[in-house]
Chain A
């Protein structure tokens, strides 16, 4: 009898806790827990058949359906090209300025951040084909609109450099980690001195990272113009773009963005 009252009192508490969750998966698990408590109440009221039905439908089936439903909507899928200090793996975790911004944004919106590293040229295609929400990794948007994609406001100023046709091959330091995608391609060519066969210009973050990783880039020429890194979001995702722009504006006015930049690029 007392157990039943305790469980009944637990019901509104569990419901309130699951409503208060900002992370969708936690809210769903809270709902499943609610069903389990309710099933226990039915069991204590000598209705095992009803308890079984409540547990199977409320806790098992409905929870699984919600999980299936939020797999895409509850996740902020980011496809990124690996750029050291912006977004790159370091040991078994990911770090960098862009990662920190995206992580904060995902936390604020209650989404689970999922990052996939892909070559830079694949990033726009993946966003345009709904396979990812945000494209990142040292993207410098051009002035003209890029088809179905729109850039977000810039989060970091940068410069773009051209370099001479040939640079000298150089010994590679042993401590350089393995990178994936575009940057690893750059690194291979940078090390063998054939960088100009794959690119004609490079942005500051990649130039710095290549320099640190052992590529010899002599005679770099800065291209005139204002450049900055931004993320790519599909045109139809107006709300996501707006939310992100608001978030970035807040980061920038509170000075947090400058702190992050200092931390990663000091």
Chain B
């Protein structure tokens, strides 16, 4: 078995386990549609997150968000799996003008900074892990446009990145299962709510945002890199 096949089987295993966990939790917690009316009113005190949107989608409706993360993982897995079967084209790097290269050297650090800001402060101000991850992936894409795909691949090994993506998913799974050890249902929030508005508040939302940002960043980049290497082959 090749390394890639082992990784694919591993990833499918993690995703199935994840989906089962989310499904079982949903079945046991029975969020009632009527509750949603109360979400906005109670979000601040119950979740500790001053960004109520983050409080809702990473606390009350965490299973929704996690399923979204899963759908994204399946998409990344599918793209990589099916594109691996077709032969990639190694196209020579197109040279870009100095204007583009200089602009990229300003934009990419800014994109990475914004990604960190959105992920770390997602529970206090607008943003969150999804937007942060997409911004970081765009930043890397700008580098690819200015300096070519090869310039990135020599520094970021795609195989290791794919492994890192699965490791993040696995750590998210383990983190969600921790409440089971203390007799609570999985996905329940054990961390302190804190004072709304402080960096350390909102319970686990900070951790979810950071993990989701990393996952979306790596996943989006892997999909872009796979398509860029196989253009014209689908």
A and B interact: yes
Q: Is the CB of B134 within 8 A of A57?
A: yes
Q: Which residue in chain B gives the minimum CB-CB distance to A61?
A: B138
Q: How far is the CA of A53 from the CA of B144 in the complex (A)?
A: 22
Partner of B145 from the list A52, A67, A130 (CB cut-off 8 Å) is: A67
Partner of A53 from the list B111, B131, B224 (CB cut-off 8 Å) is: B131
| B interface footprint on A117-158 (CB within 8 Å = 1, 0 otherwise) | 000000000000011000000000000000000000000000
Given contacts A68-B144, A72-B94, whether A49 and B53 have CB atoms under 8 Å apart is yes
Q: Which of B37-45, B122-130, B174-182 lies on the face that meets chain A?
A: B122-130
Q: Is the CB of A64 within 8 A of B138?
A: yes
Interface residues on B, range: 20 to 34
Max chain B C-beta neighbours (<10 A), residue from A56, A61, A71:
A56
Residues of A44-60 at the interface with B, using a CB-CB cut-off of 8 Å, are 48-49, 51-53, 56-57, 60
Q: Which residue in chain B gives the minimum CB-CB distance to A55?
A: B131
Q: Is the CB of B135 within 8 A of A56?
A: yes
Q: Is the CB of A68 within 8 A of B126?
A: no
Q: In whole Å, how far is B196's beta carbon from the nearest beta carbon of chain A? A: 17
**Secondary structure at chain A's binding surface: helix, strand, loop or mixed?**
helix
Q: How far is the CA of A49 from the CA of B127 in the complex (A)?
A: 5
Interface flag for A69 (CB, 8 Å): yes
Interface flag for A165 (CB, 8 Å): no
Interface flag for A198 (CB, 8 Å): no
Interface size on A, residues (CB 8 A): 18
Interface flag for B51 (CB, 8 Å): yes
Across the interface, which residues of A come within 8 angstroms of B131, CB to CB?
49, 52-53, 56
| B interface footprint on A15-33 (CB within 8 Å = 1, 0 otherwise) | 0000000000000000000
Given contacts A57-B134, A61-B220, A131-B92, whether A52 and B127 have CB atoms under 8 Å apart is yes
Q: Is the CB of B94 within 8 A of A56?
A: no
Across the interface, which residues of A come within 8 angstroms of B54, CB to CB?
49
Q: How far is the CA of A49 from the CA of B209 in the complex (A)?
A: 13
Q: Is the CB of A61 within 8 A of B126?
A: no
Q: Is the CB of B142 within 8 A of A64?
A: yes
Q: How far is the CA of A118 from the CA of B142 in the complex (A)?
A: 28
Q: How far is the CA of A204 from the CA of B128 in the complex (A)?
A: 67
Interface flag for B118 (CB, 8 Å): yes
Interface flag for B49 (CB, 8 Å): no
Q: In whole Å, how far is A32's beta carbon from the nearest beta carbon of chain B? A: 11
Across the interface, which residues of B come within 8 angstroms of A49, CB to CB?
51, 53-54, 126-128, 131
Residues of A63-89 at the interface with B, using a CB-CB cut-off of 8 Å, are 64-65, 67-69, 71-72
Partner of B134 from the list A61, A67, A130, A131 (CB cut-off 8 Å) is: A61
Across the interface, which residues of B come within 8 angstroms of A52, CB to CB?
118, 126-128, 131
Across the interface, which residues of B come within 8 angstroms of A53, CB to CB?
130-131, 134
| A interface footprint on B120-161 (CB within 8 Å = 1, 0 otherwise) | 000000111011001101100110110000000000000000
Chain B residues with a Cβ under 8 A of chain A = 51, 53-54, 91-92, 94, 111, 118, 126-128, 130-131, 134-135, 137-138, 141-142, 144-145, 220, 224, 227-228, 231
Chain A residues with a Cβ under 8 A of chain B = 48-49, 51-53, 56-57, 60-61, 64-65, 67-69, 71-72, 130-131
A-B contact pairs, 28 of them (CB 8 A): A49-B53, A49-B54, A49-B126, A49-B127, A52-B126, A52-B127, A53-B130, A53-B131, A53-B134, A56-B131, A57-B134, A60-B134, A60-B135, A61-B137, A61-B138, A61-B220, A64-B138, A64-B145, A65-B141, A65-B224, A68-B141, A68-B224, A68-B228, A71-B94, A71-B145, A72-B91, A72-B231, A130-B91
Contacts A49-B131, A61-B134 known; list 10 others, CB within 8 Å.
A49-B128, A52-B118, A57-B134, A60-B111, A60-B134, A64-B138, A65-B224, A68-B141, A68-B145, A71-B94
